[in-house]
């Protein structure tokens, strides 16, 4: 592990990551897109280690968006298989390291092997407390908000909720991960400057950091440098 990861402070914070650049990394090397995604799993493994070493409490990663269904069928199939493989092969390590895995999104559309493997991973790690790893799978920030609004509308229609009692907290309670704090830092690899429909409500006052490194090349040193940059920022939350 690079020495840079051993920071002089321990950071109790929520870091979100848009893991971008897998396909571009593969194309640059004359490899199929699936190989870029496969190598990206190694980057996620390194990032989990770095988060644990830094004392980060919540790590939320964007693994598969609702828009990703529009990609080539072969790439989508490879991503579904990779989800299942990750859930099976990483279970023992994540459980041993004290990582609890959660899902942000609706995986009902995933193939049965992927759904079953992910569900088993979530159950097997539920008791862990060192780090919460949220996998954003079949996730859309807009869809999450619409889903919450529909739930609220249904409760108002049935008389279980009054319109005057609807506030930000009421909306948040109907999100996929209602008890998670908002991200303190969003890291996007791959060099692009956009949030890509990720945690739209939750990112209101999140610090944003875009890195040119492609996700398969992202490592513990990159994570530590991102935290160091975050530590130099002054968060005012609009005040």
pLDDT digits (tens, 9 = 90+) for 19-72: 999 999 999 999 999 999 999 999 999 999 999 999 999 999 999 999 999 999
Q: How far apart are CA 47 and CA 135, in angstroms?
A: 13
| Residue 68 annotated in active site | yes
Whether 4 maps to a domain, the answer reads no
Paired tokens of 14 = 């929520």
Q: Which domain holds residue 29?
A: 11-128+147-229
Q: What is the pLDDT of residue 234?
A: 83
Whether 191 maps to a domain, the answer reads yes
Find out whether 137 and 63 touch, Cβ atoms under 8 Å.
yes
Determine the average pLDDT of the residues in 174-201: 97
Whether 2 maps to a domain, the answer reads no
Whether 225 maps to a domain, the answer reads yes
Whether 75 maps to a domain, the answer reads yes
Q: How far apart are CA 54 and CA 11, in angstroms?
A: 6
8 has pLDDT over 60: no
Which residues are CB-contacts of 15 (< 8 A; sequence separation ≥ 6)? Answer: 51, 56, 58, 59, 60, 183, 184, 185, 186, 187, 226, 227
Whether 140 maps to a domain, the answer reads no
Q: How far apart are CA 24 and CA 35, in angstroms?
A: 11
Whether 97 maps to a domain, the answer reads yes
Q: pLDDT tens-digit profile of 69-87?
A: 999 999 999 999 999 999 9
Whether 187 maps to a domain, the answer reads yes
Q: What is the pLDDT of residue 237?
A: 81
| Residue 134 annotated in active site | no
Q: How far apart are CA 164 and CA 154, in angstroms?
A: 15
203 has pLDDT over 50: yes
Q: How confident is the model at residue 11 (pLDDT cuts 50, 70, 90)?
A: low
Closest CA to 175 of 137, 196, 206, 149: 149
Beta bridge partners of 60: 16, 134
Q: What is the DSSP code (8-state) at residue 105?
A: S
Beta bridge partners of 17: 61, 187
Domains contained in the chain, number: 1
The rounded mean pLDDT for the chain is 94
Question: Which of helix, strand or coil describes residue 129?
Answer: coil
164 has pLDDT over 90: yes
Q: Catalytic residue, from 68, 106, 128, 217: name it.
A: 68
Does pTM surpass 0.75?
yes
- CATH code of the domain containing 191: 3.40.1180.10
């Amino acid at each position: 592990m690079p020495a840079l990861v051993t920071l002089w402070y321990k950071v109790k914070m929520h870091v979100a990551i848009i893991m971008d650049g897998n396909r571009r990394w593969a194309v640059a090397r004359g490899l199929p897109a699936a190989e870029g995604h496969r190598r990206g799993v190694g980057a996620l493994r390194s990032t989990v280690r770095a988060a644990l070493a830094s004392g980060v409490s919540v790590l939320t990663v964007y693994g598969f968006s609702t828009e990703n269904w529009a990609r080539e069928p072969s790439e989508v199939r490879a991503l579904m298989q990779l989800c299942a493989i990750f859930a099976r092969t990483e279970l023992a390590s994540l459980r041993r390291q004290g990582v609890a895995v959660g899902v942000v999104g609706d995986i009902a559309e995933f193939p049965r092997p992927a759904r079953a493997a992910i569900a088993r991973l979530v159950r097997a790690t539920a008791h862990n407390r060192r780090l919460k790893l949220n996998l954003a799978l079949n996730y859309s920030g807009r869809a999450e908000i619409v889903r919450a609004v529909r739930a609220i509308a249904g409760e108002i229609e049935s008389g279980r909720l009054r319109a005057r009692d609807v506030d930000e907290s009421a909306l948040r309670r109907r999100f996929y991960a209602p008890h998670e704090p908002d991200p303190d830092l969003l890291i996007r690899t791959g060099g692009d400057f956009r949030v890509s429909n990720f945690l739209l409500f939750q990112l209101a006052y999140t610090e944003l950091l875009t890195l040119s490194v492609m996700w398969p090349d992202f490592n513990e040193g990159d994570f530590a440098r991102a935290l160091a940059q975050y530590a130099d920022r002054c968060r005012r939350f609009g005040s």
